[in-house]
Amino acid sequence: MTGGRVAGKVALVTGAGAGIGRAVAQRLVAEGARVVLGDIDEKALDAVLDELGPEAAAGRRCDVTDEADVEALVALAVERFGGLDIAVANAGGGGSSELVAHDYAQWRRIVDLCLNGVFLTVKHAGRVMTERGGGSIVNMASLNAVQAGRGMGAYCSAKAGVVALTEVAALEMGRHGVRVNAVAPGLVRTQATGPMWQLPGVVEEYVENAPLGRFAEPEEIASVVLFLASDEAGFVSGSLYGVDGGARTGRYPDLIGAFERMGRE
């Protein structure tokens, strides 16, 4: 489309093969942007690229924990579409283990993906944007950035780190016209969160703890990302936007307890 809230802009989205990343890519294109997409799942990525079409989208395999991959994804945006105005650092993943039993390799994997991957995206996208004199970076944090959960030590630590990283990036890049914000979703129904529905009582706990009484769909997160990416948020930077139905006012579901109950059944 020729009009739209991000018409004429070039965007980058990591973890774009499914879930929130896919919904963000779809929404950005619907609102006039051209997008460059990265994901480690090349089959899923190709499906999104086919859906969006070559005039609106390009992409490549991107492991956000590999700096060369991230740098190449940013370079693709510049080479294919002439620049970069928006970057959405969405790729992430988690796991569950109490701290005293936490496997260190798993801890490093979660932190590497959820925090270091965001850093690398901010670093390379931010470098292009500061040189061009402006842009918007949106980092995917989580409800777990502000609400602790039993067994969620690595994920909570990484996502809290994303919030601090976002604030530092906003502080450093603001003088170049680059805005940096973070979004903190609660439970969102995606392929990645599908196992939650297999744990007895967990989804019900999420719903009970959210004052709005439900979980979210990926499109609802994409709407907030779109706002932050657009000029409508032109004086918004260094902020964390919770999209959790108010769940941060309650308590986080006991995932470890759910695993224990499942093991007894």
Active site residues: 155
Backbone CA torsion sign across 215, 218, 220, 224: positive
Nearest of 201, 217, 215, 214 to residue 253 by alpha carbon: 201
Distances (CA, A) of 6 to 11, 95, 174: 9, 35, 20
Measured from the Cβ of residue 67, the count of other Cβ atoms closer than 10 Å reads: 15
- How do 135-140 and 34-39 pair as beta strands? unpaired
Closest CA to 76 of 124, 118, 138, 44: 124
Nearest by Cα to 87 from 98, 99, 95, 75 = 75
Q: How far, in Å, CA of 86 to CA of 67, rounded? A: 19
Q: Rounded distance, CA 260 to CA 100, Å?
A: 16
Q: At what angle do helices 104-111 and 153-173 cross, to 10 degrees?
A: 30
